Structure 1
Amino acid sequence: MIFPDIPLSKLISFVEEDSQFGDITSNAVIEPQSCTAVVSTRQHVVLAGIAECVRLSEWYGLSIKKSGADGTPYMAGDVILEIYGSAHTILLLERTLLNILGRMSGIATQTRTLQDVVRSINPKCKITATRKTAPGLRLMDKKAAMIGGADPHRFSLSDAVLIKDNHRVLVRVDEAVRRARSAGAYHRIEAEADTIDDALMIAEAGADIILLDNMAPAEVEQTLVLLKEKGVRDKVVIEVSGGITGENLASYAPLAIDRISMGSLTHSITNADFSLDIMKQA
C-alpha cells in the first residue's frame, strides 16, 4: 500500500505553533552543544509517524543515526529513533516529534488490533476510517489508519459521492443516485440506507456502494438476503457503519459484508506512549 506524504510545510507549522518566540527555556539555560537523543516506546505499538519525524528532523539539520519502520510492531523499551545534532534543535522538536508519534502510532495500533479481529473471522472484510478526524490532522489520521491496515475511505468531500441522510431529506435517494451518475463517470457513488427498502432502492438505482447505517446485525443479514434474492447483491459493495466499536465488532464481522466503517479509529484515540532522552556527549 502506498501511503500519502504529509506536506513538509504542515510538519514545520507544528514546530512553529510550539515555539512562536523560540524555546526560551533551552535558550536561557543550555550552552550550544551537540548530543544524541534516543526515542523509545514505552508500550507495544504498531509504529506510525516515523517517516514524518525523520523528515522534520533532517529539515532542521539533525542527523538520523537509526530509524524504525512504519507499520512494524515494537515492544516496550525498543528504540525506534536515534537523532544526533544541536541540543537546542532537538529540544525544540522534542514535543512535536513525540506528539506525531504518539497520535499516529495510537491510531495505527488500535486499527491493527481491530483489523486482526475482523480478518480472523472474515478475511474478505476490511475496516475503514472516516472523516471524523481532528481538524487540520486529516491526512495524518488517515495515513495512520492505513498503516494500521484500514481502508482510508474518503479523504475529503471531493473524493467520491456519498449520499447521506441530510441529502435524502432534500431528494429521494434513488433520484440522488441517478443525478450523481449523470454528473460524471469518474467517481464512485455510495449512498446511505437506514432501511432494507432503501438499500434495495439504492442498489437498483445503480450505486456502487451501499452504506447500511445504524443497522443491527440481524437487519444487515436480512438486507443481504433481500439483495441476493433480487439479483443485485454482487453488483454493489456493502459497507456497515454507525456505533460500531471494538466491543460489538465481532457481531458484524461474520456477516457477508465488504467494509466496516469505524469513526472510533480517529475520533476516540489513545495516544501511544513514547519518550525522548538526551545523552550528553562524553
Structure 2
Amino acid sequence: MFIGDIERFLKEDLGYNDISCHLVPDRETDAIIFAKADCVVAGIGIARSFFDYLGINATTEYEDGSAIGKGDVIFNLRGSSVSILRAERLVLNFLGHLSGIATLTRKCVDMVGKHSNARVACTRKTTPGIREYEKMAVVAGGGDSHRFNLSDSIMIKDNHVKMMGVEAAIRSAKEKASFTQKIEVEVESVENALLAAKCGADIIMLDNMSPDTIIETVSSLKGASIPEHILVEVSGGIDSDNLEEYAKTGVDVISMGSLIHKSSWVDVSLEFLE
C-alpha cells in the first residue's frame, strides 16, 4: 500500500481531534488479532502497511490465501497502545472485507473445479477507491482479477454494439489498439458471437444468457472452427447459488460481480493482552 493511501485512510478515520485513543496510557503493550470464523484470509500486506507506518511490530504465520479457522491468531502485535488503537479499525475493516471476498471466491473456484477448468473472475463492479485491494482479494481466493481498468484491454459492450454494430466496433478497436491489448466483445445472441469470432475478437463474452443458450452458442462456435486462441467468457447474474449450472456449459471464463458485492465480511477482532 502506498504511503499516500495509508495517510488518506488514517486521516479519514482519526479526524482532527482523536481523544478516544489517548484515553489509555501510552505504553508498550501486546495485542492479538484473531478470526471469529473459518475463512480464507486476505489483506495481510495491507495490515502490515498500517502497522509499519505506525511503528507497531506485527508477526504472522499466514499470507493472503491461507485457510484459517475460528479462533486462529492472525497477527501478534507489540507497540504503542495508542498506535495499536489507531490502527485497529482500519486493519480490521480491511481484513474483514477482503477475507470475505477471498472466502467466497475460494468457495466458487472449488465449485467450478468439480465440473470444468474454467477460470472464475471478478468484474469492475468494485468499491471506488479500493478496487485494487478487492481484486487482490479475489486473487487470494484463487480467482482471476480480470482487467483492473479500461486501459488494460478493449471491451466492446452492448452500447457500443447498439451505436456501431459488432463489425464496425471491432474494426475501430483494431485500428486504435496497441499490439499488447486484447479485444473483448459482449454479445447477447449466437449470431453476434459467430460474427465477433469472424471479425477477429480475442474474447467473446456471452452476456446474460441462460445456461442452455450458452451451451448452444459454445457448440456453434466450435462447429464454426473458431481460432483456438479465442476465449469464451460468460457473465451476468451469476452467483454461488446458480454457479454450477454455468460451470457445466464449456466456457473458458466465468465472470462474477457477486464475488465482491455479495461477499460477507469475516468477523475479526483485536484484543489487548494482560
Q: TM-score range by the shorter chain?
A: over 0.9
Q: Hey, what does 1:140 align to over in structure 2?
A: 133
* 1:67 Cα deviation after fit: 4.4
- Corresponding residue for residue 3 of structure 1: none
Alignment correspondent of 1:9 = 4
Is 2:97 aligned against 1:97? Answer: no
Shift in Å, 1:10: 1.4
| 1:211 corresponds to 2:194 | no
Q: Which amino acid aligns with 1:80?
A: I
Task: Work out which of the residue numbers 131, 152, 155 in structure 1 matches 2:148.
Answer: 155
Match in the other structure for 1:80: 74
Range that drifts further, 164-173 or 65-74: 65-74
**2:26 aligned residue:** 32
**Within-5 A mapping of 1:225-264:** 225-232=219-226, 234-264=228-258
Query: What is the root-mean-square deviation in Å for CA atoms of aligned residues?
Result: 1.2
**Quick one: distance in 2 between partners of 1:275 and 1:174?**
54
Q: Which stretches in structure 1 are left out of the alignment for 5+ residues?
A: 1-5
CA distance in 1, matches of 2:59, 2:251: 45
CA contact (8 A) 1:67 1:82 kept: no
Answering whether residue 44 of structure 2 is matched by residue 44 of structure 1, we say no
Deviations 1:98-131 (A, max 9, x none): 0010011000000000000001111x21110100
Give, in whole Å, the separation in 2 of the partners of 1:269 and 1:9.
Answer: 27
* Equivalent residues of 1:40, 1:81 under 8 A apart: yes
Q: Does 1:131 align with 2:127?
A: no
Partner of 1:168: 161
Q: Does 1:21 align with 2:13?
A: no
Deviation by residue 1:123-169 (Cα, 9 ceiling, x = unmatched): x2111010000111101110000111111111011110000011112
Q: Which residue of 1 aligns with 2:184?
A: 190
The separation in 2 between residues aligned to 1:83 and 1:137, in whole angstroms, is 25
Q: Is the 8 A contact 1:34 1:87 kept in 2?
A: yes
Q: Would the aligned equivalents of 1:129 and 1:152 in 2 still touch at CA under 8 Å?
A: yes
Runs of 4+ that moved beyond 4 A: none
Distance 1:98 1:133 in 2: 19
SS in 1 for 2:272: strand
How far has the Cα of 1:236 moved from its partner? 1.1
Aligned to 1:116: 110
Q: State the secondary structure of the residue aligned to 1:139.
A: helix
Residue aligned with 2:233, SS = strand
Contact 1:211 1:241 in 2 (8 A): yes
Task: Measure how far apart 1:14 and its partner are.
Answer: 1.4
Per-residue deviation, 1:269 = 2.4
Aligned-partner SS, 1:16: helix
Q: Secondary structure at the match of 2:64?
A: coil
Asked if 2 retains the 8 angstrom alpha-carbon contact of 1:66 and 1:83, the reply is no
Identity %: 38
TM-score by length of 1: 0.94
Secondary structure, counterpart of 1:83 in structure 2? strand
